[in-house]
Chain A
Amino acid sequence: MLVAPQTSKLITAGAVTSGGTSGTTVTSGSANVKGSWTTLLDPIPSNFHALHLFLDTPSATRNSVDIAIGNAGGGSERIIISDYWFAQRVSACGHHVRYPIGGPPGGSLRARLQTTSASATLGVTCYLESGSLAWSPRPMVRAKGYGVALSGVTQGQNVDPGGTAHTKGAYTEIVAATDYPITAWYLHVGLTQGVTTPTYPANYNWLIDVAVGGAGSEIVIVPDILMGADTAGDFIQSPVIGPFFVPIPAGSRIAVRAQASVISDATYRKFDATIMGLR
């Protein structure tokens, strides 16, 4: 047998297996207000260099999740993932994403939630990769959601492919100026604003461009990212894609445009988008 020397191990944080099978239930605060911190793991037993996030069974349509490292026992939370945003049909479930984010042992791993509804719930689980750094040579420390509107709403920036099928629409600005350099990023896509219980009238596909640059001078950094929605599932899949290792300088404007396979319905051809930037 060949044993590879660079072995990582996985640490499960937050999985509930007694009396249920889910992530740890995290509850939002008042509508569009962050809830209190909930512990996923305390203490974190060893350094980790990558974090897999799994979210299940949201009870609200629009959600924003924070993950933090706090003191043992809680308190003094330092956010490592802020505003992981998604919007989809209630109870449609199962988000998985791997972040090359690291952290130290000894503290607690904590989560909190904001949604459009008061006291909504979401299952949150993390899987921490620890051990050999051979596969994550440069763990990052922070993921931040850009374009997530949190005051009075919990939504992204609305993207309209426009009225011509299979033709790119106008750019929608995700953020006017990033406050930090981004080393890698993810695209998040979710249900368009104003719809709570989606019923897609047709099967939709989108091809999405992500660009940086001033208005009118956008440069596409990743073109034609495929997303889809349909009349059976009634939510956009996949809700997140990445990481894309195209660094974005601090101070950059990020914008998104899309084309759609169906444009006849002026509501459902649209979607909301955000960018999760890692540094």
Chain B
Amino acid sequence: MTLIRPNTAIYTPAGADVSASRGTLINTGSPGNNKGAWSTLIDPIPKAFHSIYLLSDNVSATAKYSIDIALGDTGGGNEKIMIADLWGNTKIPVGGWTIRLPLGGPAGKSLRVRGQSSSSNRSIGVQCILEHGSMSWMPRPFGIAETYGFDSSSTKCVTVDPGGAANTKSSSWIEIVASTGHPSLCWLLGAGLDTASTVLPATIRWAIDVAIGGAGSEKIIANNLLFASNSSTDRVDWPFIGPFYVPIPAGSRISVKAQCTSTDATYRVLNVFIMGVR
């Protein structure tokens, strides 16, 4: 006897290049720190969706990069960004991560992607998987995910130095954003190495506190979120943690502080961002 549940979701891959067993290859802009052209992942989107998985594969060179995902017209044009500036820093050719965001969109549009990198003309493979069907597991799909702390002029995020004392929180809070432009109903924390790493000297771990509130009045909303890196991959191995459904009001100042196992003045330093979802 089997029990069949009625609330089945359906998944549509968008951008899987089955002829090359990878995601859709996009090129970042030229010169560096500029957005590349939009590429199509799927056109048209066959059904309304209520969650999206974003997957990447091997990048073409060590670089900092960011990815935008948008809904565009059929055939392209009029792109409306739904995921803005998802940031990473990785070592060639280390790539590959996945993230699920509770974002929805309509049928009939095209799903488009573009990227920028700290160096010109880098490539990266991108795939999305769209979740349709029963909404019983995602009752409130959101519309936009935006990155706080991203600097498009350098393709970097906010520099966070845990300081010279191992395993001790830095004394001061580091501001990610002075005032959020919108409420974030959930959010994720992202981190990558500040340097274009070639050889990490050892396994390194970080614990990061996230707070909201004015300078001197920070209130921790998540403490000791862990990240880790090591001497084989030379990058933060899982660069995102979340989403956490701890809403952050519009107009909030978000700040972080960190501690680290290493006192190496180069490799202890992270770039950090908050992606707010609304």
Q: Which residues of A contact B (CB under 8 A)?
A: 1-4, 6-10, 12, 15, 17-23, 50, 52, 54, 56-57, 89, 91-96, 98, 100, 123, 125, 127, 129, 132, 134-138, 165-166, 181, 183-184, 203, 205-207, 221-238, 241-247, 249-252, 259-261
Tell yes or no: B252 within 8 A of A by CB: yes
Interface of chain B residues 52 through 74 with chain A (CB within 8 A): 53, 55, 57-58
Chain A, residue nearest B180 (CB): A1
Q: Closest 9 A-B residue pairs measured CB to CB? A: A237-B96, A94-B237, A4-B247, A249-B2, A228-B96, A15-B224, A135-B245, A93-B228, A94-B238
Of the listed stretches B78-86, B114-122, B133-141, B150-158, chain A binds: B133-141
A93, B224: Cβ atoms under 8 Å?
no
CA separation between A243 and B131, bound complex, in Å? 11
Specify which chain B residues have a CB less than 8 angstroms from the CB of A96 in the assembled complex: 238, 240-241
Given contacts A1-B252, A232-B93, A260-B21, contact A89 B8 (CB under 8 A): no
- Chain A proximity of B271: nearest CB distance (Å): 16
A226, B22: Cβ atoms under 8 Å?
yes
Main SS of the interface on chain B?
Answer: loop
Chain B, residue nearest A261 (CB): B21
Interface string of B15-43 (1 = CB under 8 A from A): 01011111100000000000000000000
Of the listed stretches B104-112, B170-178, B202-210, chain A binds: B202-210
CA separation between A230 and B124, bound complex, in Å? 14
Given contacts A23-B226, A245-B9, A245-B131, contact A93 B18 (CB under 8 A): no
A261, B20: Cβ atoms under 8 Å?
yes
Which of B55, B207, B228, B246 is close to A10, meaning CB atoms less than 8 Å apart?
B246
Not counting A234-B232, A249-B4, a sample of 7 additional A-B residue pairs whose C-beta atoms are within 8 angstroms of each other reads A93-B205, A135-B186, A181-B2, A203-B93, A207-B16, A226-B96, A232-B94
CA separation between A24 and B95, bound complex, in Å? 28
Interface of chain B residues 202 through 230 with chain A (CB within 8 A): 203, 205-207, 221-230
Interface string of B237-264 (1 = CB under 8 A from A): 1101111111101111000000111000
- Chain B proximity of A277: nearest CB distance (Å): 13
Specify which chain A residues have a CB less than 8 angstroms from the CB of B22 in the assembled complex: 205, 207, 226, 228, 261
Q: Which residues of B contact A (CB under 8 A)?
A: 1-5, 7-11, 13, 16, 18-23, 53, 55, 57-58, 91-98, 100, 125, 127, 129, 131, 134, 136-140, 166-167, 169, 183, 185-186, 203, 205-207, 221-238, 240-247, 249-252, 259-261
Chain B, residue nearest A9 (CB): B246
